[in-house]
């Protein structure tokens, strides 16, 4: 069974992730935080099937 996700749900999840990343950034070293961002980018890419570096044409994480 596929679950339907509303725009509001997606925005709420993105906002919650942003808040968590802000908190983590204040507690982590720059190197630790960069690793966390890379892990988040990879997890999101796997979940949605779109690679950020391809979508953004950055050759790395956006």
* 10-58: pLDDT as tens digits: 888 889 999 999 999 999 999 999 999 999 888 888 888 877 667 666 5
Is residue 38 one of the residues assigned to a domain?
Answer: yes
Is residue 15 one of the residues assigned to a domain?
Answer: no
Is residue 20 one of the residues assigned to a domain?
Answer: no
Is residue 45 one of the residues assigned to a domain?
Answer: yes
User: What is the predicted pLDDT for the residue at 50?
Assistant: 76
User: What is the predicted pLDDT for the residue at 35?
Assistant: 95
Query: Whole domain around residue 35: which residue ranges?
Result: 29-62
Is residue 49 one of the residues assigned to a domain?
Answer: yes
Domain count, the chain: 1
User: What is the predicted pLDDT for the residue at 1?
Assistant: 45
Is residue 22 one of the residues assigned to a domain?
Answer: no
pLDDT at 2 over 50: yes
**Verdict on whether the full-model pTM lies above 0.75:** no
Is residue 61 one of the residues assigned to a domain?
Answer: yes
Work out the number of other CB atoms within 10 angstroms of the CB of residue 33: 15
């Amino acid at each position: 069974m596929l679950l339907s996700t509303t725009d509001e749900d997606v925005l709420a999840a993105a906002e919650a992730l942003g808040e968590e990343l802000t908190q983590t950034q204040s507690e982590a070293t720059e190197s630790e935080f960069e690793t966390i961002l890379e892990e988040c980018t990879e997890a999101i890419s796997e979940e949605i099937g779109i690679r950020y570096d391809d979508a953004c044409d950055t050759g790395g994480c956006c």
